[in-house]
Amino acid sequence: MANITELSDKTFNDETKEGLVITDFNADWCPPCKMMNPILEKLSSKDELGDKIKFTSMNVDHNPDTPNNFGIQGIPTFIVKKDGNVVGRLVGYQPEAKFRMALEKFM
């Protein structure tokens, strides 16, 4: 995913400490996660929201510590951080229009 930065437990804090950042917590085997991929790809483009929001992704199977720290129990879960502080959380599949509206509230 070209406009989406892949994170690990080690890189999460550094990559999400400045600006407006959304992290997609997901897994390869998760159908709703796969359904969100095209929406995230589209919204993360510079023509859409990519110049206002940094889009990041974390595989929960490969990085268990960060999801545990945030109490993530279902995926996909999207954590929105602004200057390092959590300002929002979305859980589950979101239709594109609904997801866009939710993100625009944080801008």
Say whether 18 is catalytic. no
Residue 62 corresponds to which amino acid?
A: H
Give the number of other CB atoms < 10 A from CB of residue 85.
Answer: 9
Active-site residue (options: 4, 21, 30, 75): 30
Active-site residue (options: 4, 7, 33, 39): 33
The half-sphere exposure of 52 on its side-chain side, counting CA atoms within 13 A, is: 10
CA-wise closest residue to 26 among 69, 61, 2, 68: 61
CA-wise closest residue to 55 among 105, 14, 5: 5
Say whether 14 is catalytic. no
Which residues are the active-site residues?
30, 33
